[in-house]
Each structure stands twice: as structure tokens, then as C-alpha cells.
Structure 1
Amino acid sequence: MSTIAPRSRWRITADVWHALFLREAVARISADRIAWLWLLAEPIAHVALMVWVRTLIGRIRIVPGAEFIPWLVVGITLFIMFRNQMNRGMEAINANRGLFAYRQVHPVDTVLVRGALEGILSTIVMILMVIGFTLLGQNLVPHHPLEVLNIWVSVWLFGTGVALVFSVMATTLPESAKFVRMTMLPLYFLSGIMIPVQYFPHDLQQYLLYNPMLHAIELMRMGFFESYRAVEGVNHLYLHWWVWGSLCLGLLLHTRYKIRLMAQ
């Protein structure tokens, strides 16, 4: 008589993540009839809006060391990945609460899987954007691919870490989710997405550099464009401190409040 060998903890975790990933992917892509199309249309709509706004206010569309539209595409696509990871990860626990009846599923699993899914979808969108804009005559092929990959993965991890932190806040204190979402609009403009940071007064630049997403976006653009030079003060170490700090804090919070998160 054959017996089934017990699964290890790692095997159980992998199976849980695989099941959650398939569930989240189906829900994300089939949320409505154009959900899959909007993944690609959203960054293009942002680019079109920003080009129109810059034309409307009469500013010269010149970015030192880069073409304006590719420069804009890189910043917008990277920021949208971070924003989607944070917003959707923050809601992951409440959206999957019914699954906690299975003892193998933990709140942290739902957030990590959503972060992974959003990162994969954003990566596909970024590749399609590079191919599409390159075919249209816009130079969007990265000059330093490994540098671009490094920053992309760093922001992927950063978005997951921030989602872990805010998922605890949003679950234990639901009102905080509204304030977190409100910060996205000012953060969008303070990350140098629309106007090069070099155009701001030097005194203001020193305060903007406290924003880790500004570092990520500037470093990403340096990886794409050979002649582009980021504002002085941008560096990898500051970004990585935020990345690993947010991941560690998020995991610690989930460990500390696990029982409360499952019982909310």
C-alpha cells in the first residue's frame, strides 16, 4: 500500500503561492473586458497627457541628454509599477480574507503574491513599450541593460516592501488607506516624472532628494540614456536602504500582527 510523503514547509509555501498567483492573475486580467488592454494603455495615456500639458504651458520640451518622450516613458512606467504594487498590495489581505480559513495561507502570502504579479505584469508592459516606441522611431533601447535591470528589480522589491507595511496599516486602521492613496499624486510630481529635477532651484532639490523614488527614476534614466546625467546627490545606496528597510519592516509587522490581521 503506497503512502503519500508529507510535504516540507517550503513545498507547502510554494504551492500556496502558486495557487494564489493563479487566482490573482485571473482576477487581475479578467476584472472587466478591457482590463488586460488598460495595462498597456495606462502608461501611454499618462505620456500623452504629460506631453499635452507641457505643450499647453509652453515649456520647451528639452531634456539634457535624452529625448523627451522616451525620458517620460521610463519615469512613468517605473512609477506606475510602484504605485500599483503599493495600492493593490495594501488591499490584498482584505480581498483574500476568506482564504485564511486554510491554515496554510497567511496574510503575508497574499501581499507577496500580489507584489510579484504586479511586477511581472509591469515588466511585460515595459518590454512592449520598449519595442513599440522603438518601432515608432523613439530610441528606448537601454544603453546599460544591467543597470536598468538592477533598478527595475530594486523598485519591484521596494513596492513590495511598502505594500507589506501599508497592508498592516490599512487592515488594522482602514481609514489610513485613504491618506496613503492621497500621497500618490504629490509623489508623482515630486519624483521628477514630468519636469527634470535639474530645472528646480538648488535649495529645493536638496529636499526632493529625500524621496527614494526620485533616486530610482533618475538612476533608471541614466541606465537608458548614455548622455543623461542625473541631479547631483542621486545614488544607489540611498535607494537600497529604503528597499531593504521597507522589506524588513514589513515582514516584522506581519510577524508581530499576524493573529490580528487574520482576525480583523
Structure 2
Amino acid sequence: MIFALLMRETLTRFGRHNIGFLWMFAEPMMFTLGITALWSIMGAKHGSDLPITVFALSGYSSVLLWRNMPSRAISSIQPNLALMYHRNVKLIDIFIARLLLEAAGATMSFFLLSLIFIYIGWVDPPEDILKVIAAWALLAWFGMALAILLGALSEHYELVEKFWHPTAYLLFPLSGAGFLLEIVPEGPRNLLLYLPMLNCVEYLRDGYFGSLFTAHYSVSYVIACNSVLTLLSLAKLRQVSRTVVPK
């Protein structure tokens, strides 16, 4: 059922023309490449001697993973109410299909760009690939849990959509995409570490080039936050599912 919804979502979003579903990862790749090129041309500094290419790749690919999921989940119930006539289709299926598509696009973009940059010699291979995979998985989990919670809340509160977009922009510069926690004073650093996505980005970079800087993160804290978010999102979604009427 989820596979069928995934195929439907892919065709609905990307269509059959031009390069079709390839836009799923071409779009995030273009964004990351654009940011990387802009930083390189401007000679942007990020407070360390790390290569700007791998720094931008790890930072902005991560942002695309956690930030785009809630945008796809918010206000997604009403347009898909007709699907609820099918007994086997549940609200959670609709969310999972959308979020898997978003996660797949960001993931393919990140790993394809990593392989390309490694092949042409712009970046070195990750020092610990298992840390990179674990950090990416934790970030995807966070994005999905947050997206389902906001998507369920948006069914009852229209202001969720209005508040999420400015909130996402405010969180963007705090997410670690453009800086390392190593250069932040201890006081503000301890406050920033309350952001789960920042812990994940530091963990990801630790896996990529951990020997070149001192990473600051807590895997147990991220797991705890993700678990709480997951429980809240599933509880809210169950409540919403009782009030949804198919059209």
C-alpha cells in the first residue's frame, strides 16, 4: 500500500515529462551545488581550515533533509481525503509515502554528490562511514517525527503552516549548516546543543572529518528527543484520524 502511494506521489509531484522522477534528487543537488559554488567563489569563511566543499555539502544537504519534510506534511491531509475511501489506506500511510519520497531525494543527492566530489578529488572519503550513516538516519528520523506531528496539528490549527515557514528560516542559521560548534563559546554552545538537528550535523561531520576538529554532540540526547517526538506525533495522528471524514 505504501509503495502504491509512493508511486502516486512521485507521479503527482514530478510527472512523466522531461526527466520525471529524477527531479527528486536533482533539485536538492542543484541547491547544494549552488551553495557550494557560491561559497567557493566568494571565499566564504566558516571559522576553520576545513575544505569549503565538504563543509557546505555536509551542512546544506542536512538542512534539506530535516527542513523540507514538515513542509511536505503540513496541510497534506485534506488534499488526500479521497484516498481514505480505501479501507487499507490510513493517514500514517499518506504521511510515510510523502516523507519517504522527500528523504529519498535528499539522501540520493547527498550520497551522489559525495561520490562525485570524492571521485574528482575535491573531498576525501569519510573517516568513519558508519558515523555518517548513523547521523543521517537520526536526522531523517527527527525530520519525519517532526513532520508527522506538524502535519497532524495542521489539520486542527491553520496557524501551524503560517508559523512553520518563519520558524524554519530562523532555525536554519542555528542548525550548524554554516558553522562549527567548536568556534562557539561554551555558554552559547551549551544552549545550541538543545537543537537535535545541530547534534546530528556535528555527528555527521565527525564521521566525515572528525580528526580535523573537535565535534560536540550527544547521540543519546538525539535519540531521546526523536523518541518523544515520535510518540507525540503518533498520538496526535491517532486523535486526528478519528475526526477525518473522507470526501
Please state how far the C-alpha of 1:95 moved relative to its aligned partner: 3.1
Contact 1:50 1:194 in 2 (8 A): no
Question: Equivalent residue for 2:133?
Answer: 149
1:82-231 to structure 2, matched below 5 A, reads 82-231=66-215
Matched, 1:38 2:34: no
Please state how far the C-alpha of 1:73 moved relative to its aligned partner: 0.7
Question: Equivalent residue for 2:11?
Answer: 26
Matched, 1:245 2:234: no
In 2, Cα distance between equivalents of 1:133 and 1:263 = 48
Please state how far the C-alpha of 1:51 moved relative to its aligned partner: 4.5
In 1, Cα distance between equivalents of 2:14 and 2:161 = 24
Please state how far the C-alpha of 1:33 moved relative to its aligned partner: 5.0
Residues 20-62 of structure 1: CA distance to partner in whole angstroms, max 9, x if unpaired? 011112223339857713232122123334445663xxxx455
Equivalent position amino acid for 1:41 in 2: M
Please state how far the C-alpha of 1:161 moved relative to its aligned partner: 0.6
Unaligned runs of 5+ in 2: none
In 1, Cα distance between equivalents of 2:157 and 2:34 = 33
Contact 1:171 1:261 in 2 (8 A): no
Closer/same/farther in 2, CA of residues 253 and 115 from structure 1, 3 Å limit: same
Question: Equivalent residue for 2:237?
Answer: 254
In 1, Cα distance between equivalents of 2:182 and 2:10 = 40
Closer/same/farther in 2, CA of residues 242 and 100 from structure 1, 3 Å limit: same
Contact 2:69 2:143 in 1 (8 A): yes
- Mean CA deviation greater in 27-36 or 242-251: 27-36
Closer/same/farther in 2, CA of residues 130 and 231 from structure 1, 3 Å limit: closer
The CA RMSD over aligned residues, in Å, is 2.3
Contact 2:192 2:198 in 1 (8 A): yes
Equivalent position amino acid for 1:244 in 2: S
Give me the identity figure in percent.
23
In 2, Cα distance between equivalents of 1:197 and 1:31 = 44
Residues 138-176 of structure 1: CA distance to partner in whole angstroms, max 9, x if unpaired? 115221111111111111111111111000111111222
Unaligned runs of 5+ in 1: 1-15
Contact 2:153 2:236 in 1 (8 A): no
Contact 1:62 1:68 in 2 (8 A): no
- Mean CA deviation greater in 133-142 or 121-130: 133-142
In 1, Cα distance between equivalents of 2:81 and 2:39 = 38
Please state how far the C-alpha of 1:114 moved relative to its aligned partner: 1.3
Please state how far the C-alpha of 1:228 moved relative to its aligned partner: 3.5
Please state how far the C-alpha of 1:70 moved relative to its aligned partner: 0.3
In 1, Cα distance between equivalents of 2:5 and 2:124 = 34
In 1, Cα distance between equivalents of 2:11 and 2:198 = 33
Contact 1:151 1:220 in 2 (8 A): yes
2:211 is paired with a residue whose SS is coil
Question: Equivalent residue for 2:57?
Answer: 73
In 1, Cα distance between equivalents of 2:143 and 2:16 = 22
Closer/same/farther in 2, CA of residues 143 and 91 from structure 1, 3 Å limit: farther
Closer/same/farther in 2, CA of residues 252 and 237 from structure 1, 3 Å limit: same
Please state how far the C-alpha of 1:18 moved relative to its aligned partner: 1.5
In 2, Cα distance between equivalents of 1:213 and 1:109 = 25
Please state how far the C-alpha of 1:118 moved relative to its aligned partner: 1.4
User: How many residues were matched structurally?
Assistant: 243
Contact 1:90 1:170 in 2 (8 A): yes
